[in-house]
Structures are given as structure tokens and as C-alpha cells.
Amino acid sequence: MRSLLFVPADGGSKLDKAMASGADAVILDLEDSIAPERKVHARMVALEFLRAVQSKTPRPRLLVRVNGLDTGMTDADLEAVVPGKPDAILFPKAEGGATVTYLDAKLAVREAIAGLPDGTIKILAQTVESAAGLFSTGTYRNSSARLIGMTWGPEDLSAELGAEANREADGTLTEPYRLARSFCLFGAAAAKVPAIETIHVDFRNAEVLRRDTELARRDGFTGRLAIHPAQVPVINEVFTPSAEQVAKAMAVVAAFAAQPGAGTVGIDGKMFDRPHLLQAQALLARIG
């Protein structure tokens, strides 16, 4: 998934715009964008929407961001939306692999009640939204077969830290949040799942979004969260491998295939080793 677009679960026409945005995934948000008094209604709308669009093809993947475990609202969220068969749950404020295992168990029960096969609904974990979340990023490996990726969030983290800002004037992250971003990236690599970059709040500034997203791709992120449809084309473009990159990856894979057991191969006067092969295979896997 290159682009994952947030939309309030009770967003009305915004839901239809999100579906038509070109995003690889649409996230129906039951958490931050829904006031407490609107939660019950938003759950009903989310279920109705999931059922209405579930069979449409093609369509983006459908995720639901539930409220975190510490709110006491997670169970009500899951009870409401699991019958709508979302593709995945976006799990906010995850604090280690044990919390993902716990959510897995909750999903298994509700899938059984809804008549869905076990493991139907996957989990995308927001892993660094708190200090505790940062220190537990290395614990997600083998936590659940449902886990399909890890992302992070500087907004909740900065609120916990009492920070005045989490970005410099030019849009770059300040030091504590660069560290948090790196922990998410390393944690995802350890868990062997994709790392998804966080949102960029200045949705009107496409130039800064592009620069920031290119840095994310360079560092190893494979997709990005979005908060406005206007961000989707930029994110998709940045995370779509170029024809040159695809050709190079295919050449590396072909060279190793031609020399089974080789530790290194030469292509156009340059040496490539096994880590280059793994990178090439990962790039080709992302484009199907």
C-alpha cells in the first residue's frame, strides 16, 4: 500500500471522495476525528459504508481505525465494524507485540461470531505514539499473523512529551521525532513487515510533502498515511518504482538466477551482492 487516506467514519460525501481519490487504502477513522458524543453514530455509519462498498471492484483496501485499548471503546468499535468485513484494523497507540496479540484474540472472537474465517481481518499497528510505544518497537515479530505493517504518529507523542512542536519551520522533524521515526522503521524491519510513514499535516504544500515523502522512500518506508485527497497523487508517484528502477531490479534478479549459489554478480562493471538481490526482490514484489 503506497497511500492510505484517512477519512472520518461519519464523513458523508468525504467517504465517496476518499474512495475516488486513487488511494491504495481508505481508513475509516473512529478515533481522533470523531468526538465522544458521535462515536455510536459513527460506528453505525462505518458498518453501513463497509457493507455498501465491500463487493465493489476495483476498490481500495478498507481499514478502520478503532479507539485505543486505553479508552475502553475498542470492543464496541470492533463489535460494530467486524460484520462489515474491513480488510484491516488500524490499531492506534499499540505498545508492543503483546498488545497486537491481544487485539488478534479480540478479532478472532468477533470473526467467529460474524461467520468470518479466522484471520480475515488484518492489523496495521501505529507503534510509536507514546514513549512506551517507542521502547517496545522491537517486540512485534511473530506477535500475530495478522500484522501487515507498522506506522507511527508524532502528534500524540508530542502531546505526551509536552513538546511545543515536532517539526522545524521547514517541515523537517525535530530530533526526538526523527528518533521515533527511526524506531518504527527498525521495528518494522525486525518484524519483517512494511513500514508506513506518518502523515504530513501541511496538506496544501505539495512541494514539502514530495520532499518529505522522497526521504521516507529513501530510508526504507514503502507507503504513507494521508489526510487529504490532494496528497494521494504525490504519495503514489513517489512510492511507485520508476521504469529504470524496475529494469535494474529485474537485471539483478536475472543475474543471480543465471549463477545459482553465487555470492556476488557483475552487471555493467558493477558488483552486486546478496543484500542487493533482496532489495531487488522486495521492489519487484511491491509492484506485483
DSSP class per residue in 67-114: PPGGGT-HHHHHHHHGGG--SEEEETT--SHHHHHHHHHHHHHHHHHH
Phi, psi of 173 (to 5 degrees): -70, 145
pLDDT band at 70 (very low <50, low <70, confident <90, very high): very high
pLDDT value of residue 215: 97
Neighbours of 172 (CB within 10 A): 13
- Per-residue buried b or exposed e for 10-38, using 16+ beta carbons within 10 Å of the residue's own CB: bbeeebeebbebebbbbbbbbbebbeeee
Query: Which of 233, 237, 226, 241 lies closest to 286, judged by CA?
Result: 241
d(CA 238, CA 260): 33
Report the distance separating Cα 217 and Cα 48, nearest Å.
35
Alpha-carbon span 169 to 138, nearest angstrom? 31
Does residue 287 register a pLDDT over 80? Answer: no
Q: What percent of the chain has pLDDT over 90?
A: 80
Would the pLDDT of 262 be above 90? no
Mean pLDDT of the chain: 94
Whole-number Å distance between alpha carbons of 127 and 163: 19
Q: Could you tell me the pLDDT band of residue 278, with boundaries at 50, 70 and 90?
A: confident
Q: Enter the DSSP assignment of 34.
A: S
Q: How far is CA 169 from CA 172, 199, 201, in A?
A: 7, 17, 13
What pLDDT, on a 0 to 100 scale, did the predictor assign at position 14? 96
Of 255, 253, 282, 249, nearest to 267 (Cα)? 255
Residues in the chain: 288
| pLDDT, position 281 | 85
Tens digits of residue pLDDT in 164-199: 999 998 889 999 999 999 999 999 999 999 999 999
Question: Domain 3-239 has what CATH class?
Answer: alpha beta
Q: Are 158 and 173 in contact (CB under 8 A)?
A: no
Residue of 251, 236, 196, 204 lying closest to 220 (CA atoms): 196
Using CA atoms, how far residue 85 sits from 81, 107, 219, in Å, is 7, 11, 33
Confidence of residue 288 (pLDDT cuts 50, 70, 90): low
**Tell me: the pLDDT tens digits for 77-132?**
999 999 999 999 999 999 999 999 999 999 999 999 999 999 999 999 999 999 99
DSSP letters along 126-150, please? EEESSHHHHHTGGG-TTS-TTEEEE
C-alpha span between 27 and 227 (Å, rounded): 10
Per-residue cell: 71: 479508552
268 has a pLDDT exceeding 90: no
Report which of residues 37 and 204 the model is more confident about.
37
Residue 3 φ then ψ, to 5°:
-125, 135
Q: CA–CA separation, 133 vs 197, rounded Å?
A: 16
Domain edges within the chain: 3-239, 243-286
C-alpha cell at 259: 549463477
